[in-house]
């Protein structure tokens, strides 16, 4: 059975730094699954910063460009198992969620149809349910990082609102299945579970 640490917090709250520290403390054999795509110079800068903090013995696996699917994760985890890694750090599922819904071009819609929202919601829940099943059947320690996006003002545009709602659903799904859950605010962590 896999063991799941779920780290949740706002932007720049310290969750990724702690995830890296936790991974270092758990094992020298760490596989890092990066979910971001390089879309512009700012994203390149952020990715470079994260890469610079990783230990040279860690191996980074990047998801294929475009919409991620479970086959990407299965291939990566097969490599992780063959190469005998002990810890998997997945950073972060917020970007993963965005990549999943991006192809629907919700940013171009003034109103998101209820049926479309329901369809996307079912796909998102199924994707993360499958991801959790994969995590639980592998004998590895998983550290999963996510953003808490529901504590601020209600976004003024449809994509922001639907993304916030889906992120809340996914975070609840992940926290429920996790062995340990930590919440980060201003560089401080609090254990929730």
Per-residue pLDDT of the chain (193 residues; tens, 9 = 90+): 889 999 999 988 999 999 999 999 999 999 999 887 777 788 778 777 777 777 788 999 988 777 888 888 889 988 998 999 999 999 999 999 998 888 777 677 677 778 888 988 899 999 999 999 999 988 899 999 999 998 888 888 888 888 999 999 999 999 999 999 999 999 999 999 9
pLDDT, position 31: 96
With tokens 């809340």, the residue in question is 168
* Contact indicator for 18, 25 with CB cutoff of 8 Å: no
- Compute the distance between CA of residue 19 and CA of residue 23 in angstroms, rounded to an integer: 6
* Contact indicator for 14, 184 with CB cutoff of 8 Å: yes
Q: What is the SS3 assignment for 129?
A: helix
pLDDT, position 48: 76
Give the list of residues 6+ apart from residue 31 with CB closer than 8 angstroms, or none. 58, 59, 61, 76, 79, 80, 83, 85, 87, 88, 89
**What are residue 47's phi and psi, to 5 degrees?**
-65, -45
Q: Among 78, 93, 75, which residue's Cα sits nearest to residue 178?
A: 93
**What are residue 167's phi and psi, to 5 degrees?**
-65, -40
Whole-structure pTM value: 0.91
- DSSP structural state of residue 148: -
Give the list of residues 6+ apart from residue 83 with CB closer than 8 angstroms, or none. 31, 59
> How many domains in the chain?
1
pLDDT, position 109: 64
* Contact indicator for 21, 159 with CB cutoff of 8 Å: no
The CATH number assigned to the domain holding 137 equals 3.40.50.300
Say if residue 92 is preceded by a cis peptide, omega within 30 of 0. yes
Residues designated catalytic: 50
Query: Angle, nearest 10°, between helix axes 114-137 and 158-177?
Result: 30
Residue 122 lies in domain = 3-191
């Amino acid at each position: 059975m896999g063991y799941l640490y779920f780290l949740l917090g706002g932007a720049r709250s310290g969750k990724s730094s702690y995830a890296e520290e936790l991974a270092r403390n758990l094992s020298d054999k760490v596989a890092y699954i990066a979910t971001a795509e390089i879309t512009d110079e700012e994203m390149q800068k952020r990715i470079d910063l994260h890469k610079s903090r990783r230990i040279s013995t860690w191996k980074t696996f990047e998801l294929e460009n475009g919409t991620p699917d479970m086959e990407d994760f299965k291939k990566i985890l097969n490599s992780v198992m063959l190469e005998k890694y002990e810890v998997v750090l997945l950073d972060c599922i917020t970007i993963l969620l965005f990549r999943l819904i991006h192809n629907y071009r919700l940013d171009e819609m003034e109103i998101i149809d209820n049926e479309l929202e329901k369809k996307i919601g079912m796909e998102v829940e199924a994707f993360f349910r499958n991801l959790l099943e994969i995590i639980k059947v592998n004998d590895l320690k998983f550290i999963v990082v996510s953003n808490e996006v529901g504590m601020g003002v209600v976004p003024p545009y449809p994509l922001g609102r639907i993304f916030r709602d889906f992120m809340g659903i996914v975070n609840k799904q992940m926290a429920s299945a996790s062995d340990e859950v930590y919440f980060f605010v201003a560089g401080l962590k609090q254990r929730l579970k």
